[in-house]
Amino acid sequence: MGSRVGGEVEIIRSSRELKTLAVEWESLALSLGLPMLGHAWVLACAEALYDNDELHIITVRLRGCLVGVAPLVAIKRAGVRYLQLAGVSHLYEPSGLLYRDEESLSALTRAVVSSGFPVVLARIPAESPLIPQIRSIVSGRGVLVEGAVGYTLSVPISSGWKEYVASLSSRRRYDLRRARQRAEEGGMVTVRVCSPSPEEVEEGIAEFVRIEATGWKGRNGSSLIQRNRLREFFLRYAALASRSGTLRLGFLDVAGNPIAAQISVIYAERLWVLKIGYDETWSRCSPGSQLLAETMKYAFECKLKSYEFLGSDEPWLHGWVTERRGYCTIGCYPATLQGLYGLAADTVGRMRARAASLYQ
């Protein structure tokens, strides 16, 4: 389905077609360094979180080479069909577009804006060159809405583990020692950080799901055991990541019994924490924080570039010495009846959300 928008444009609408792009896709993704832009992540999203008719992945080829990908899905909301980044509304993790260089980014951005749909790109890096590209292209052709910047936290790895721990506050160091002492009252404390084979993934994810369900997420209905599509996503993604050797499952055991678990990947020489859960009956010894410390130590020992918390900038993470990474949302609404109706629906939705927050 070629189109003259600065290259050959094609829309990928099925996971079968998506699978054929794995090698070319990953060569683009690795240069951008974000696992959520990796082929495995988007394929797991496509197979677990969406129906096939919702895929709307825009690809651009220049001189036959894949040079740009917009991993989008077409979602119907308030009677309007929108394009949005795959997985973001379900997982709330950073995302963006894949591109080789400035020329390919320009061609890809034009293809996205020219789709005719309202486009909402959430959790894209605040310093991404995509943002000025969109501003330039949309100008005079529609309405652009930019959201506030949100943040994730990252621990830069530029020293040894002992030096990093010494840079923490005395309070944080004391809390970690006390938590370990309390855990040791229940028996020997051991830590496992493993890179499971594809055959071991199902058992490892099942153990994580069981542990996570014992905490507050289990009570409020947000644990993976109660969210079938999300559980299926993590199982599929973990299986794919295990084949490339990037998956890491971490467990904190007391007397041989796991009381905290973590799902993470090593991608572009960084460790990315995707999920963490712990058994609340052991909350007195802060098992989640203990496991974070142990997997952070593992990242330092592997001489990676950073330890990425993902999610959002939460107060409970401020005891670590971190850097912030900014992400924003940008919405493009074409000057068409569908575009303007989408803008009106989104504006009303934002107003309702603000009003509801005043009464919480």
Close Cβ partners of 42 (under 8 Å, ≥ 6 residues apart): 18, 25, 57, 71, 86, 87
Q: How many CB atoms lie within 10 A of CB 348?
A: 11
- Same domain? For 169 and 232 the reply is yes
CATH number for the domain spanning 52: value is 3.40.630.30
Q: Which has the minimum average pLDDT: 48-62, 167-181, 211-225, 271-285?
A: 211-225
Task: Please check whether residue 16 lies inside any domain of the structure.
Answer: yes
Tell me the pTM.
0.91
Q: Which has the minimum average pLDDT: 62-71, 152-161, 219-228?
A: 219-228
How far apart (Å, rounded) are the C-alpha atoms in residues 266 and 270? 5
Instruction: Judge whether residue 336 has pLDDT over 80.
Output: no
Task: Please check whether residue 2 lies inside any domain of the structure.
Answer: no
12-59 pLDDT per residue, tens: 999 999 999 999 999 999 989 999 999 999 999 999 999 978 999 999
Q: What angle do CA 6, 123, 10 make, to 5 degrees?
A: 30
Task: Please check whether residue 26 lies inside any domain of the structure.
Answer: yes
Task: Please check whether residue 315 lies inside any domain of the structure.
Answer: no
For 105, the domain range is: 8-149+327-358
Instruction: Judge whether residue 2 has pLDDT over 80.
Output: no
Close Cβ partners of 185 (under 8 Å, ≥ 6 residues apart): none
How far apart (Å, rounded) are the C-alpha atoms in residues 3 and 304? 42
The predicted pLDDT at position 1 comes to 36
- Same domain? For 98 and 35 the reply is yes
Are 225 and 212 in contact by the 8 Å Cβ rule? The answer is: yes
- Same domain? For 143 and 22 the reply is yes
The predicted pLDDT at position 140 comes to 72
Mean pLDDT of the 298-302 span: 98
Task: Please check whether residue 247 lies inside any domain of the structure.
Answer: yes
Q: Which has the minimum average pLDDT: 70-74, 213-217, 222-226?
A: 213-217
Are 26 and 241 in contact by the 8 Å Cβ rule? The answer is: no
How far apart (Å, rounded) are the C-alpha atoms in residues 105 and 98? 8
Instruction: Judge whether residue 4 has pLDDT over 60.
Output: no
- Same domain? For 171 and 132 the reply is no
- Same domain? For 353 and 283 the reply is no
- Same domain? For 71 and 207 the reply is no
The predicted pLDDT at position 348 comes to 54
Task: Please check whether residue 337 lies inside any domain of the structure.
Answer: yes
- Same domain? For 127 and 186 the reply is no
- Same domain? For 144 and 51 the reply is yes
| Final residue of a structural domain among 269, 289, 304 | 304
- Amino acid identity, residue 178? R
Task: Please check whether residue 313 lies inside any domain of the structure.
Answer: no
How far apart (Å, rounded) are the C-alpha atoms in residues 270 and 252? 21
Instruction: Judge whether residue 3 has pLDDT over 70.
Output: no
For the chain, how many structural domains are there in total? 2
Are 72 and 108 in contact by the 8 Å Cβ rule? The answer is: no
Mean pLDDT of the 248-266 span: 97
- Same domain? For 18 and 119 the reply is yes
- Same domain? For 115 and 191 the reply is no
- Same domain? For 60 and 132 the reply is yes
Task: Please check whether residue 104 lies inside any domain of the structure.
Answer: yes
104-149 pLDDT per residue, tens: 999 999 999 988 899 999 999 999 999 999 999 887 778 888 988 9
Instruction: Judge whether residue 70 has pLDDT over 50.
Output: yes
- Confidence band, pLDDT 50/70/90 cuts, at residue 95: very high
How far apart (Å, rounded) are the C-alpha atoms in residues 130 and 108? 10
How far apart (Å, rounded) are the C-alpha atoms in residues 234 and 251? 17
- Confidence band, pLDDT 50/70/90 cuts, at residue 358: very low
- Same domain? For 125 and 41 the reply is yes
